[in-house]
Amino acid sequence: MSKVKTAILGSGNIGTDLIFKLMRSDVLELTTVIGIDSKSDGLRRAKEMGLVAIDNGIKGFLERPELADIVMDATSAKAHVRHAKLLKEAGKQVLDLTPAARGPFVCPSVNLSDHLDAPNINMITCGGQATIPIVHAVNRVAPVEYAEIVATISSRSAGPGTRENIDEFTLTTANAIEQIGGAKRGKAIIILNPAEPPIMMRDTVYAEVAEGTMDEDKVAASIQEMVREVQSYVSGYRMRTEPIFDGNRVTVFLEVEGAGDYLPKYSGNLDIMTAAAVKVAEEFAKNQLAQREGVKQ
Amino acid sequence: MNTKRDLYITEVALRDGSHAVAHQFTVEQVRNVARALDEANVPFIEVSHGDGLGGSSMQFGRSLFDEFELIEAAVDVCQQAKIAVLLLPGIGTQRELKKASELGAKMARIATHVTEADVSPQHIHLAKELGMETVGFLMMSHMATVEKLVAQAKLMESYGADTVYMVDSAGALLPHEVKERIHALRESLDVHVGFHGHNNLSLAMANTLAAIEEGATRIDGSIRCLGAGAGNTQTEVLVSVLDRMNIETGIDVFKMMDVAEDIVAPILQQAQEITRDSLVMGYAGVYSSFLLHAKRASDKFGVDARDILIELGRLKVVGGQEDMIVDVATDLVKKQKQAVIR
């Protein structure tokens, strides 16, 4: 099977975890890692693996744009605003793992097929990737009037970006619960827990459906099906217990264990972002390949 | 009014007490209590959902009245007292803080878990920009070492907080531990140091006096112990004790006694006392607002509330993790079933 050339922009923790995941892909060929610090672990590993390691940032890549058709940006919101513009001009398809959100929100199990040709998509937040599928799963059976999610992550896996700008997490996630999850009203809460050894990411989803529309069996089945769907790209995603029903409310308790590629297993919050992004990139690649085939015929 | 005050008391019943009444305060109750506290010359009155601005939720319990209506009502009836609001970053956002300020709140208390102060700079900066008196509020202080507490307090000071509070959210600290912590904070900080206690081990008063002895000048109390768990340091008792000690709070002792007896006591569904469950929270170091949630989970799943609370303490659960209560309760049910099968 032919592959689509891919670059990772950002050589920090997320970028480095993406290296491991992309090396396993059948449709993505990781060619390049772009950073700004030649001594960073990400760039050092890229060199060792025989990949092109660019250490002068986006500028270096734009001098050699043939290196990749898909670019995954794991830098920062501020940097992404600039990257988005430059990469669009260069005609690259871009996945944004930062909170910049220049393009539409994408959750692979919910709305990926709507955005296969988008020049730039945003991966929402870790809490969003974990919980929006569940909100959607309830909403496709019974209309969700209100959905609330609580993401609890270990202090160690919350980086300085998240901490300094914690409102961005709550507001973006709440927004996406409405836009992508389909809830009329959404709310998001994030809790950091410093316990040692670090706790695994936990997410709780509360959904309240329109009066008289709760069908417990159907909702439970829809949730189960969705959990399997998410597990197909995030292997450590699971329900901690069966959904709990109470009148027109359902509560779902989730846990996300990381794959332990580069990041520790407790960092399920980071793993779900990189795993979901790889899923999106793979579908982008398949779409690009299909279009190339179409052109040839 | 120009009142001499050796220390400043913040009355938290209309925020911390929200937990004790399952967030069912009415506009009328808030209006009556705030007016009476204002007349008794209480300098600061905190009004918000128990879990701070934006706390009304399925996770923490929904407010009967929109907290902004409550804040507005309190601002409206106060002549001298300033209204304070609590905000936990991760739950409330800058939007709600701005709104509270527009409605007339003059003090912002930005609360984080004792080890997570670095989620608060945005909110502390905003509060300062809005011209609010700004407090950093380090919760669950018993869970960190003295060194860690001091380092986190210094972060809040560096963001611009006018005061940093050491908060004993679980009511778990003993007087000598409070002394040691407040002493260390006084040595290292240039800003005011505050103390917020809970009475789960019947130590709120002793801890508060220990804090004052070590130089804390910002103190929280809840009138009639109307706060989470067994309540906080009982304000009307505290001002009476301080009066006997010749420490001037500026608060009218007799008026406070009357407010407690005539206005606040009737609001309580039952008198605040140290029940077995609140004692367990202090003993096991569990966030005081978990009390009613644990009782409800105990009823729903048929497991002992004490077992739930002890397990939460063992898991080192922090404030805000109310969803863990049901999670732990369902785990206990599973374990009980397995035990029966064996």
Q: Which fold has domain B276-341?
A: Helicase, Ruva Protein; domain 3 (1.10.8)
Superfamily per CATH, domain B8-267: Aldolase class I (3.20.20.70)
Q: Which of residues 196-215 of A touch B (CB under 8 A)?
A: 202, 204, 206, 208
Question: How far is it, in rounded angstroms, from Cα A199 to Cα A108?
Answer: 26
Buried b (16+ CB within 10 A) or exposed e, B113-130: bbbbbbbbbbbbebbbeb
Q: For every residue of A23-77, which 3-state class applies, written as one string?
A: HCCCCEEEEEEECCCCCCHHHHHHHHCCCEEECCHHHHHHCCHHHCCEEEECCCH
Sign of CA dihedral B120, B122, B128, B130: negative
| Closest CA–CA distance from residue B27 to any residue of chain A (Å) | 24
Q: Which of residues 98-157 of B touch A (CB under 8 A)?
A: 113, 115-116, 118-119, 121-122, 143
pLDDT tens for residues A152-198?
999 999 988 889 889 999 999 999 999 999 999 999 999 999 999 99
Cβ of residue B296 closer than 8 Å to a chain A Cβ: no
Indicate which residues of B carry an active-site annotation. Answer: 19
Which of A160, A164, A189 is nearest residue B59 as measured by Cβ atoms? A189
Question: Percent of chain A, pLDDT > 70?
Answer: 99
Decide if pLDDT at A294 tops 90: no
CA dihedral B179, B184, B190, B196 (to 10 degrees): -40
Contacts of B323 in chain A (CB under 8 A): 150, 152, 202, 204, 251, 253
The verdict on a CB contact (< 8 Å) between B116 and A190 is no
Q: What residue segments make up the domains of chain B, in order of their start? A: 8-267, 276-341
Q: Hey, what are B7's tokens?
A: 């220390």
| Closest CA–CA distance from residue B196 to any residue of chain A (Å) | 21
Question: Rounded mean pLDDT of chain A?
Answer: 95
Task: Decide if B3 contacts B212 (C-beta within 8 A).
Answer: no
Give the pLDDT score at B339. 81
Task: Decide if A166 contacts A188 (C-beta within 8 A).
Answer: no
The verdict on a CB contact (< 8 Å) between A253 and B327 is yes
Question: How far is it, in rounded angstroms, from Cα A295 to Cα B61?
Answer: 57
Give the pLDDT score at A175. 97
Cβ of residue B330 closer than 8 Å to a chain A Cβ: yes
Question: How far is it, in rounded angstroms, from Cα A87 to Cα B339?
Answer: 60
Cβ of residue A187 closer than 8 Å to a chain B Cβ: yes
The verdict on a CB contact (< 8 Å) between B323 and A193 is no
Q: Chain B interface, mutation test: which of A189, A203, A251, most B Cβ atoms within 10 Å?
A: A189
Domains of chain A: 4-123+273-296 (3.40.50.720), 126-265 (3.30.360.10)
Out of A139-143, A250-254, B194-198, B291-295, least confident range: B291-295
- Tell which residue, B44, B53, B41, B33, has the closest CA to residue B221: B44
The verdict on a CB contact (< 8 Å) between B119 and A192 is yes
Give the pLDDT score at A296. 66
- Sequence-distant (≥ 6) Cβ neighbours of residue A256 within 8 angstroms: A130, A200, A201, A202, A203, A234, A236, A237, A238, A268, A269, A271, A272
Burial class from Cβ neighbours inside 10 Å (0-12, 13-18, 19+) for residue A198 reads middle
Same CATH topology for B8-267 and B276-341: the answer is no
Question: How far is it, in rounded angstroms, from Cα B93 to Cα B122?
Answer: 9
Give the pLDDT score at B336. 85
| Closest CA–CA distance from residue B61 to any residue of chain A (Å) | 12
Mean pLDDT, residues A279-293: 95
- pLDDT per residue as tens, chain B (342 positions): 558 999 999 999 999 999 999 999 999 999 999 999 999 999 999 999 999 999 999 999 999 999 999 999 999 999 999 999 999 999 999 999 999 999 999 999 999 999 999 999 999 999 999 999 999 999 999 999 999 999 999 999 999 999 999 999 999 999 999 999 999 999 999 999 999 999 999 999 999 999 999 999 999 999 999 999 999 999 999 999 999 999 999 999 999 999 999 999 999 988 999 999 999 999 999 999 999 999 999 999 999 999 999 999 999 999 999 999 999 999 999 888 888 776
Give the pLDDT score at B2. 59
- Tell which residue, A14, A115, B84, has the closest CA to residue A101: A115
Geometric angle at alpha carbon B121, from B119 and B125, rounded to 5°: 150
